[in-house]
Structure 1
Amino acid sequence: MVTLSGKGLTRRALLAAACAAAGGALPAFAAQGMRLAAVDWAMAETAMALGHAPVALAELIAFRDAAVAQPPRATVDLGLRGAPNLEALSLVAPDLILSSSYYSAIEPRLARIAPVFTRALYVPGEPAFPKVMALLGDLAGRLGDAAAGTRVQAAAAAEFAMLAGRATPHAGRACLLFELGDSRHIRIFGTDSLFGGALEAMGMRNAWAGGTRFAFAAPIPLERLAEYPEARLVVAGAIPVQVERALRSAALWNSLPPVRAGRVHRLPELRPFAGIPSALRFGHELVAALEGRG
């Protein structure tokens, strides 16, 4: 049985009491350093790369599906990113909430629970890669661990340099990066995308000179691929079975020069609006595909 006097009751004590009442215990990782809660996945991934895993994360199950590194088992699920469970968020008693401009509408409610650290990482027309790389240093500084930011930034730069070396034999041909929405539509990753920035960091070129359409639907008609007969086609993410079946017999798709020449490379499910760990995973998967090991 847990009893509380009510005097000097802190958020951490409340959480410990709630965990004890539920038959559990306060997670060990939650008792060390600054307690973080994340509603934004790029922020969560960055915090984990710095060695400061959030104690709570929005849409935790979906995050785990394609995570570069898995959150601790005791991580609390906060529900939807755009509408997190504020009661659960209060119970985990965060010292800092990690958010982004995607969730600016709910920031006032978040700020009533704990200070909010937020950045505008993905903005149409603005290169995202430098912002995501800079986030490593910015967040590390906010967490009082500037050395971690410097260390992880240096390691990431070195890894991209290594990938660039491996990609050199393939760098003469530009890539078109996209997801397949259905058999007639794609979503292109442009110069303002995480993947587009990672491609440049590897010394390769993005055939699509424009920006990314920041939408959940795939808004570009498949016919646009015919404008790039010399490009490599890089398909990110799993292709639905019905789309795969339709493409096999689609005259337009099969008439594309890159398809006829076998210059189509498929990558696994990746996070296009995440942090540097996902950018590095994209780089490794792309190089492996180019080397014929994908």
Structure 2
Amino acid sequence: MVGACGFSRRAFLAAACAVAGRALPAFAADGLRLAAVDWAMAETAMALGHPPAALAELIGFRDAAVEPPPQGTIDLGLRGAPNLEALSLVAPDLILSSSYYSAIQPRLERIAPVFTRALYVADEPAFPKVMALLAELAQRLGDPAAGPRAQAAAQAEFATLAGRAAGFADRACLLFELGDSRHIRVFGTDSLFSGALEAMGLRNAWTARTSFAFAAPVPLEKLAEYPEARLVIVGRMPPQAERGLGSAALWNSLPPVKAGRVHRLPELRPFAGIPSALRFAHELVAALEGRA
């Protein structure tokens, strides 16, 4: 809206950003202008065709992004302690958050309405929640048709991957990150990646309890209890750990290692949305096929 002086809100924002030494944030051609402090929310908004104008920890998000954020996206600083001045200058219509950041929600609400969900809760499967989030967020953004459309596309993609993975369904997968040459973090059945496994018709070998998607730290010796599993290492291994693993007698004595049933995946986001779940699924199927 333009006032009597002919100075629009956009022009005011551009001037304010110039004073602060920041670029003018991206504006959606239509719909709500978004800012995101939670990466799962940001991914979901992008999958719906509504990328946020501003995003917390932008550089980190880009590092393992399924889809890079648009040029001109504003960095809001830390997810748990965003720069409120920068957030105010963005002038969002809606802030996307999650239960991880409930402590700062009152401060966010002083800037704009907040859309938040508890996506990752101990002992509660995350995959159905992030799938449902597509429809819930689309509804809140005033674009309700985008949610079912994105869900149908994701389900079709998982079905295609399930066809490719069918030949590997005879063995369960043990998914883990390697902290050092003696300890691992195991993804449990409440994790995003475990949900993606199930969507492909595969099984998670780890059925014990976890804490917010992980069991950690778990001694490497625990892997000896899963002689029939496929071992799937998610993410980059510390160089020292990788060197130590290559010469570790315990590791090299494990039946999956001796049989060549060890698969390496790149850095992936375990606390994200359906786009990251699909990326995990694609990477896993490619790794399995590479060893077939």
- Flag whether TM exceeds 0.5 (same fold): yes
Distance 1:77 1:24, change over 3 A: closer
**Corresponding position of 1:90:** 88
**Corresponding position of 1:253:** 251
Give how far 1:5 is off.
Answer: 8.9
Distance 1:206 1:23, change over 3 A: closer
2:105 is the counterpart of 1:107: yes
Matches within 5 A, 1:78-157: 78-157=76-155
- Within the candidate set 279, 288, 291, 2:289 is matched to 291
Q: Is the 8 A contact 1:78 1:89 kept in 2?
A: yes
Distance 1:7 1:114, change over 3 A: farther
Identity %: 81
Using the size of structure 2 for normalisation, the TM-score is 0.93
Residue-by-residue CA offset, 1:170-224 (whole Å, 9 max, x unaligned): 0110000010011111111111000000000000010001243338994111111
- Within the candidate set 279, 282, 285, 1:281 is matched to 279
Counterpart-to-counterpart distance in 2, 1:111 and 1:6: 30
Give how far 1:7 is off.
Answer: 7.9
Counterpart-to-counterpart distance in 2, 1:75 and 1:280: 24
**Corresponding position of 2:192:** 194
Using the size of structure 1 for normalisation, the TM-score is 0.93
Letter in 1 for 2:45: A
Counterpart-to-counterpart distance in 2, 1:49 and 1:223: 40
- Within the candidate set 31, 34, 38, 2:32 is matched to 34
Counterpart-to-counterpart distance in 2, 1:234 and 1:22: 46
Secondary structure of the residue that 2:69 maps to in structure 1? coil
What RMSD over aligned residues (CA atoms) do the two structures have, in Å? 2.4
Counterpart-to-counterpart distance in 2, 1:24 and 1:105: 27
Letter in 2 for 1:169: G
Aligned positions, number:
291
Distance 1:185 1:236, change over 3 A: same
* Unpaired stretches in structure 2, ≥5 consecutive residues: none
Give how far 1:14 is off.
Answer: 3.4
Give how far 1:25 is off.
Answer: 6.5
Letter in 1 for 2:123: G
Q: Is the 8 A contact 1:55 1:92 kept in 2?
A: yes
* Unpaired stretches in structure 1, ≥5 consecutive residues: none
Give how far 1:21 is off.
Answer: 4.9
Q: Is the 8 A contact 1:40 1:81 kept in 2?
A: yes
